[in-house]
Structure 1
Amino acid sequence: MKALLGIIPAMAVMALALPAAAAPDGATIYGRCAACHTKTGAGVPGAFPPLGADFRALAAKADGRRFLSLAVVRGLSGPMTVEGKAYRGVMPAQMLDDASTAAVLNHIGTQITKTGPAFKPFNTKEVEGHRSSGASLSAADVAKLHAQVGGK
């Protein structure tokens, strides 16, 4: 028993010495988004909307930030108007954890979109709250939120 008690503190010290998990890389994650939205975020006319001024405008408002988080975690389906153009495509829900969702949204907000209001980074807790509050929404429900939160 005495030997076991000596091992427990040593194990605790070893656990503290383990390196922290690396933060998700938003640029790498964005690679899957670029397949539709393009590397520059310009999108494909009529099929996939651009990630530009609309993104930044939404990211500046609490309900817009919720929409952007839910677009990633729940997906989008159905008609939307972005920057004055109609889109009817489908974006599947991305199977990302909250930290990875925040990382990709932050990459878009800092590296892809350069116009619009100043960008405030997303954090894991914020995305977690959005995911929880939108758990019952379908991709079509999320797409409808775009206009409701001031997306244009």
Structure 2
Amino acid sequence: MLRIGAAMVLMALPAAAEAADGPALYKRCAACHLATGAGVPGAFPSLKAEPAALAAKPDGRRFLVLAVTRGLAGPLVVDGKTYRGVMPAQPMKDDEVAAVLNHVLDTIASADKKVTRFSADEVGDIRKAGAALTPRQVAELKAAIK
């Protein structure tokens, strides 16, 4: 009996230890931002340049996490173009948010390897601190990033 119980515990460990799959999670984002991250002019912004620049700054990192976890609403300027749409909050766990943001940095935005990748702990801390923000307030955070 003990052997079976131990085997069951060992079988459960690899599944629990698996990392979130950023490329698979990004498929949700690709519905609007496209598989390449190019976005749709006038509707959904590109993810090719700004995420890398934002991820290099503490306020930018906060904005990126909250954009995913709290959503965005209202005017948002990306690459000099104004977007007035809505991005709903994404129902993802902290490790999933980190994985999808890291996928964007590594594959779509081609961020410099010196830019720190997101961790689940960082995402959790930012999510908790920004829990009261509305999607409109999150969009307003971007304008304050220098």
Normalised to the residue count of structure 2, the TM-score between the two structures is 0.89
CA contact (8 A) 2:74 2:85 kept: yes
* 1:18 matched residue in structure 2: 12
Taking structure 1 as reference, are residues 131 and 51 closer, same or farther at Cα in structure 2, changes over 3 Å only? same
Q: Percent identity?
A: 52
2:59 alignment partner in structure 1: 63
CA distance, structure 1, for counterparts of residue 113 and residue 145 of structure 2: 16
Superposed CA deviations along residues 32-90 of structure 1, whole A, max 9, x for unmatched, are 10111111111111111110221111000111101100000000000011010110010
In the aligned structure 1, how far is the partner of 2:122 from the partner of 2:89? 18
Q: Which moved more, 1:126-135 or 1:14-23?
A: 14-23
Q: Shift in Å at residue 29 of structure 1? A: 0.5
The answer on 1:126 being equivalent to 2:136 is: no
Q: Which runs of 5+ in 2 are unaligned?
A: none
RMSD of aligned Cα (Å):
2.0
Distance in 2 between the 1:66 and 1:101 partners? 12
- 2:75 alignment partner in structure 1: 79
The structure number with the bigger radius of gyration is 1
Gapped regions of structure 1 (runs ≥ 5): 1-5
- Residues 88/116 of structure 1: CA separation in 2 closer, same or farther (3 Å cut): farther
- Does the Cα contact within 8 Å between 1:43 and 1:49 map onto a contact in 2? yes
CA distance in 2, matches of 1:116, 1:123: 17
The within-5 A match list for 1:30-69 is: 30-69=26-65
TM-score normalised by the chain length of structure 1: 0.86
